[in-house]
Amino acid sequence: MHTMRLSAEDPAAPAIAAELIRKGELVAIPTETVYGLGADGLNEAAVAKIFQVKGRPQDNPLILHVTGAEQIALFCHDVPQAAYRLAERFWPGPLTMVLPARDLVPRRTTAGLSTVAVRCPDCAATREIIRLAGVPIAAPSANLSGKPSTTTAAHVLHDHDGRIAAVVDGGPCRVGVESTIVDLTEQPPRLLRPGGVTPEQLKAVLGELAVDRAVVAPIDQDAVVKAPGMKYRHYAPQCQVLIVSGTRSQAASYIHAHFAPGDRVLCFAEELPLYENCAPLAYGREDDAATLSAGLFAALRQLDDPSVNRVFARCPQGGGVAYAVENRLKKAAAFQIIDPEADT
């Protein structure tokens, strides 16, 4: 199959992409979070293609992308007022809400769950594709399953050239990590995944917010989890990733003592001078967490190379979007964290 390259700036692109979606084809779409591998979310056969092309486990549900709050009730029932308050405040934007699913949403889309995740992306061309297609677009991140997410059209083509109908190039994703997911079927609402909308921002609207264990700790493989996708290894390059915690100098001493040929260091831009002989790669600035979220997946993809033996990574701490970066990096490292103080 030839994969068509469309530009989000081309006024003709949304109609072409929408037509492909209506025909049941796969189209990779730009959003402010990451690129999505999109298909008609109401068409079982089209949704099945997403799982097949991505190699995605069948029990990992998809997010339905919609044009705005006016579409929530089309696909969800018993929608609480809180959902509309959140949509009013954060849509279009990096917030996904889990709500009870109407029967027209195929169980293949929700991976058998009675709930469905909905989000309105902050990318005008993509909203126009959804509007013209006349259906919600189901889209997981466009990476091959288990790999770091796709934040450029080139990443999408690397994983899927020749296997999908089209990719719409909207440039590098602004946020760079997947959407925040909040489950509104529980009281208090529960944070299932941190993202560009921060827990602090959610609490300001919701009052109370529970945080799912999967956000902060590894998942027991046999555990019954709220969103089954949370239990899989995620975001990881093929080699081992080790997070080295501690202060700048503690981490640098530990890494210098253990560095071997073939290893790489994934660090903050401020730390580059500390690792001159350790093949360092900076993914953003520690004092500006938005640069870390925007750069993380491109850096992890660069390190996903057979020549790389092991990655020592520096992980941000704190609230805001740093919390989402910490979550992704810890999952990429399978929660292997070295405390240099304890090690000496």
Instruction: List contacts with ligand AMP (CB under 6 A).
Output: 60-61, 63, 98, 110, 113, 115-117, 140-141, 178, 181, 192, 226-227, 229-230
The listed partner (ligand AMP, Mg ion, none) that binds 98, CB under 5 to 8 Å by sort, is ligand AMP
Rounded distance, CA 143 to CA 55, Å?
10
Give whole-number Cα distances, 186 to 9, 60, 63, 183, 208, in Å: 40, 20, 18, 6, 11
Task: Give me the least distance between CB of 262 and ligand AMP, in Å please.
Answer: 30
Residue 43 as a binder of Mg ion (CB under 5 A): the answer is: no
Q: By CB under 5 A, is residue 327 in contact with Mg ion?
A: no
Residue among 321, 138, 329, 117 at smallest CA distance from 234: 329
From the CB of 274, what's the least distance to ligand AMP, in Å?
Answer: 33
Q: At what angle do helices 322-332 and 289-302 cross, to 10 degrees?
A: 20
Q: How far is the CB of 341 from ligand AMP (least distance, A)?
A: 34
The smaller minimum CB distance to Mg ion, of residues 141 and 291, is found at 141
Query: Quick one: 194 or 280, whose CB is closer to ligand AMP?
Result: 194
Residue 141 forms beta bridges with which residues? 36
Residue 273: other Cβ atoms inside 10 A: 9
Cα distance between residue 65 and residue 107, in whole Å: 16
Q: Which helix (H) or strand (E) holds 119?
A: strand 115-119
Please answer whether residues 90 and 82 qualify as being in contact, where contact means their C-beta atoms are separated by less than 8 angstroms.
Answer: no
Can you tell me the distance from the alpha carbon of 322 to that of 231, in angstroms, rounded to the nearest whole number? Answer: 22
Beta carbon of residue 9, minimum distance to Mg ion (angstroms, whole number):
26
- Total residues interacting with Mg ion, rule: CB under 5 A: 1
- Per-residue contact track with Mg ion, 133 to 152, x per CB under 5 A? --------x-----------
Per-residue mark of binding to Mg ion, 165-204 (x: CB under 5 A): ----------------------------------------
Q: To the nearest whole angstrom, how small is the minimum distance from the Cβ of residue 224 to ligand AMP?
A: 12
Task: Tell me whether residue 79 or residue 116 sits nearer to Mg ion (CB atom).
Answer: 116
